[in-house]
Chain A
Amino acid sequence: MAMMPKRVKHRKSQRGRVRGNAARCNYVAFGEYGLQVLEPSWITARQIEAGRVAATHFLRREGKVYMRIFPHKPVSAKPLETRMGKGKGEPEFWVARVRPGQVCFEIGGVEEDIAKQALLRVAHKMPVRCRFVRRRHSL
């Protein structure tokens, strides 16, 4: 497993639902270009890691990649060929809950077309529709 919290309050969590839109973390804050999620979803630690590897491999030590999401939520599963009952399964993997509007990856220090190509590769690793966004110079 690539990313997971170092310390947690509870080992297992209920599934819950991803409702609403991102009210924060919905703008490019660190880099100049970003990848914005357009659907509510869970993004697994493996998918985040795959995105990071895809971007850093494409950029070849140029620019900087920022990850704006972290897999805080444990997802448990029961082993194969196990009868139902006997309690909740053990945590299998970790996911980040994302809402529409969340910026999941950012890139800084490179030209726009390079950032676009890198983030397109990241978008292919994501389980949701994403769009390329630029930093907005607000008032």
Chain B
Amino acid sequence: MSKNLSLKAELRERTGSRQAAAARLRGRLPAVVYGHKKDALAVSIDAHDFAEGLHHGHRLLDLKVGGTTETVLIKDLQYDHLGRDLVHVDLQRVDVTELVRVVVPIELKGTAEGTHHGGIIEEHVDRLEVECSVTDIPESIAVSVKDVKVGDALHAGQVALPAGIKLVSSPELVLVTCHLVAAAKTAEQAEEEAPAAPEVIGEAERAARAAQQAEQG
């Protein structure tokens, strides 16, 4: 499967939230194209075609703007408040030969040893920033958690990256930990621990000051 998705973009002559909302109603997705020290372009692309391409794992697009075709990388996506629909996309101009920094999701593989001893796997970070060639951007990075025991942590530096991919995130970044689950508090315990009423900030000082004034008066 070719990684480059071809899309036609229309220039957005009028920008702003109202114009963008009108474009979305017409089935267009507002986007911005930037990079390579050229002017940023406000464009719109077909929302359905783009969403389909994204679903199939495309990260690179051949974007036809006006009479020219540019290779662009999907840099950022914005979703609506429910996380259902795309509302905007950032596209960065790239050359097929250049190295880019991209964020790639990690995929946990295997069952951790610690889970057999009552532990649970907690995923602290679900993506890694890596540097790689534009044409070799992986869909995901497989992280094996087989050897993780209770109390262990798996760091970004321990992940075996595919050839040609360099880690940009800190190697000490904790990706996964395995720990025992603490006993949950019962409703009664929580009720006993909770104070009857919260402390009001500055109320004690105000009361002391009022008492002092009353004494003086």
**Identity of the chain B residue whose Cβ is nearest the Cβ of A10 in the assembled complex:** B200
CB interface residues, A 69-115, toward B, < 8 Å: 91, 99-101, 108-109
**Closest Cβ of chain B: how far from A79's Cβ, in Å?**
16
- Check if A128 is an interface residue, CB within 8 A of chain B: no
Let me know if A139 and B76 touch, CB within 8 A.
yes
Contact of B122 among A2, A22, A109 (CB under 8 A): A109
- A122–B145 Cα distance when bound, in Å, is 30
Known contacts A56-B184, A61-B181: A136-B201 contact under CB 8 Å: no
Within 1-34 of A, Cβ neighbours of B (below 8 Å) are at 1-11, 21-23, 26-27, 32
Chain A: minimal CB distance from B141 (Å): 11
- A-contact 0/1 string along B43-79, CB 8 Å cutoff: 0000000000000000100000000000000111101
Contact of A62 among B120, B183, B197 (CB under 8 A): B120
Q: Which residues of A contact B122 (CB under 8 A)?
A: 64, 108-109
A6 touches B198 (CB 8 A): yes
Q: Which residues of B contact A52 (CB under 8 A)?
A: 184
Binary CB contact string for chain A from 43 to 73 against chain B (1 if under 8 A, 0 otherwise): 0000001001100100001111100000000
> Is B191 within 8 A of A137, CB to CB?
no
Q: Which of B75, B181, B201 has the most CB of A within 10 A?
A: B181
Main secondary structure of the interface of A (DSSP, over half): loop
Q: Judge whether B81 and A7 touch: CB under 8 Å.
A: no
Out of B79, B82, B126, B187, name the residue touching A53 (CB < 8 Å): B187
When the two chains form their complex, are residues A49 and B187 in contact, meaning their CB atoms are under 8 A apart? yes
B105 touching A63, Cβ below 8 Å: no
A116 to B211, CA, bound (A): 57
Chain B residues with CB under 8 Å of chain A are 59, 74-77, 79, 81-83, 102-103, 105, 120-123, 126-127, 140, 181, 183-184, 187, 190-191, 194-195, 197-202
What are 16 A-B pairs with beta-carbon distances under 8 A?
Answer: A2-B194, A3-B190, A11-B197, A38-B82, A61-B183, A61-B184, A62-B181, A63-B181, A64-B181, A91-B197, A99-B81, A100-B82, A135-B126, A138-B127, A139-B74, A139-B102
